[in-house]
Amino acid sequence: MNFRPHDYQNYAIEYIKANPVAGVFLSMGLGKTIISLTAIADLLFDSFEISNVLIIGPLRVARDSWPMEISKWEHLKHLTYTVAVGNLAERKAALKRQADITIINRENVQWLVESGNFNYDMVVIDELSSFKSHTSKRFKALMKVRPKVKRIVGLTGTPSSNGLMDLWAEFRLLDMGERLGKFITRYREAFFMPEKRNGMQVFSYKPRPDAEEEIYRRISDITISMKCTDHLKMPELISTQYEVVLSDDERKQYERLKSELVLTLSDEEITAPNAASLTNKLSQLANGAIYDDTKLIVEFHSRKLDALEDIIESASGNPLLVAYWFRHDLERIRKRFEVREIKTSQDIIDWNAGKIPVAMIHPASAGHGLNLQSGGSTLVWFGLTWSLELYQQTNARLWRQGQTSGTVVIQHIITKGTIDERILKALNKKELTQNALIDAVKADLGGNV
């Protein structure tokens, strides 16, 4: 297939080529993979500025999406690549192949660095936001070899899914601390103030006045940002809620766990020892089942299953993609409906070919990079996630470039008066900070940032 880039794609390609350090924040569906590969091909064989490229991504994206893109486009067919995923023997064999590009999943970055085989002069991080924790092993490992890398590109559509604090580690990796500082403590002191605390112990921080503007100003010279709605004719996006209501008795039991942190269901005791555990348990109750203290599944209600049945019926045979969060969600849905989970490359092919009427997807394992837009245009959230990044990325499996339907529907099954409502509100609130960052560094195709 011949690649005919849009203007914004040409702009992003040239930006990567012109900037040894580049943060490229592209909304889902803008083609960050083909943009990066085109720039890599030019840097390898036109200007001869690099010789070995490492691409780091989520497992399924590394295994499926990047190789698929290289094989898809005529102008990239001269590129050689090797995919270092799988068991130790498979990864070692992949590294022995002489290739222009090595593709690896992010979980194996530490192994690659410690193996002594890191000899790459360009690194592309697909989903830079997965390196937002400066305490993670993958971050520490990559920082050890960062001085060896001449060129680095950070790709993401969600740079600050949990707020501005995420940006420090991401840019520490990109520019080695030049713009936001070398130490997280100084970054925190400069731009944040305590929000929730108990004496000297600080639980959370909030940005200081004008901190956002100053942070965006500091990173703007190495960062471009584009929204799909600015550059593509995207399908209409409709977000709806299907509300279900607990019975009076179910409501009392839900409130009992919420207030007392202990609940007895079907003679099984369920305890929530802390706030994090409580929110997890309440989410399970809202979905209709819960794990007891011995990890057995205890049924609570079937309201969401009934709602999903109504949605499947109203779809009249049109494919549905259903997002679940807890394992017992999937098990209960499987007992009631004929579904298939999207896990393998063949699952993706069959979904896009229209062979799967109801497909299940878990945001944490399939949220990034998978092209599922050919298989359907309706996504149902059976259970929500607190992660804005996973939420947006999962929605973007359908709402993206290449979607042939004029409308994409994101339907949320919400249990009224429960933590479901709070999670959805939190996701919407986080999006404000996310959009502020993207707008602040949005690329002007006239050449200015």
Residue 134's domain is classified under what CATH number? 3.40.50.10810
Domain check: are 226 and 242 in the same one?
no
pLDDT of residue 449: 36
CATH number at residue 258: 3.40.50.300
173 and 254 inside one domain: no
Residue 344: inside a domain: yes
The reply to whether 299 and 387 lie within a common domain is yes
| pLDDT in the model for residue 125 | 96
Is residue 447 included in any domain, yes or no?
Answer: no
- What local confidence, expressed as pLDDT, does residue 435 receive? 67
* Dist. CA 344–CA 348, nearest whole Å: 7
CB neighbourhood size of 173 (10 A)? 24
DSSP string, 199-224: TTEEEEEEEPTTHHHHHHHHHGGGEE
Whether residue 226 sits in one domain with residue 324: no
- Domain-embedded: residue 135: yes
Three-state secondary structure call for residue 103: strand
End-to-end Cα separation, the chain, in angstroms: 32
pLDDT of the chain, 449 residues: tens digit per residue = 899 888 889 999 999 999 999 999 887 667 889 999 999 999 999 999 999 999 999 887 888 889 988 988 999 999 999 999 999 999 999 999 989 999 999 999 999 999 998 999 999 999 898 899 999 999 999 999 999 999 999 998 777 767 788 899 999 999 999 999 999 999 999 999 887 777 777 777 888 988 888 999 999 999 998 876 676 677 878 888 888 989 999 999 888 888 777 766 655 667 766 766 788 888 999 999 988 777 888 888 999 999 999 888 878 788 999 999 999 999 999 999 999 999 888 898 899 899 999 999 999 876 555 788 888 888 999 999 888 888 888 998 888 777 777 788 899 999 999 989 988 888 887 766 666 656 666 665 554 43
As a whole number of angstroms, the distance between CA 432 and CA 429 comes to: 6
Same domain, 25 and 128: yes
- State whether 154 and 11 are in the same domain: yes
Structural domain including 151 reads: 7-232+436-440
Instruction: Tell me, yes or no, whether 446 lies in a domain.
Output: no
Asked if the structure places residue 292 within a domain, the reply is: yes
Torsion, Cα 191 195 198 200, to 10 degrees, reads 10
Provide the sign of the torsion angle of the four alpha carbons 396, 325, 337, 344, taken in this order: positive
Q: Does residue 448 form part of some domain?
A: no
What the block records as the tokens of 67 is: 């190789």
**Residues 209 and 257 occupy one common structural domain:** no
Please tell me whether residues 157 and 19 are part of one structural domain. yes
Is residue 142 domain-shared with residue 197, that is, in the same domain? Answer: yes
283 in the same domain as 210: no
Nearest CA among 111, 117, 67, 113 for reference residue 88:
111
Q: List Cβ neighbours of 322 (8 Å cut-off, separation of 6 or more).
A: 308, 333, 339, 358, 359, 360, 361, 379, 380, 382
Quick one: 305 and 409 in the same domain? yes
Residue 1 lies in a domain: no
Torsion of CA 100, 106, 108, 114, to 10 degrees: 80
- The domain tally of the chain equals 2
Looking at residue 448, its pLDDT comes to 40
Instruction: Give pLDDT, residue 445.
Output: 57
Same domain, 92 and 109: yes
Inter-axis angle of helices 327-336 and 303-315, nearest 10: 60
Q: Is residue 2 part of a domain?
A: no
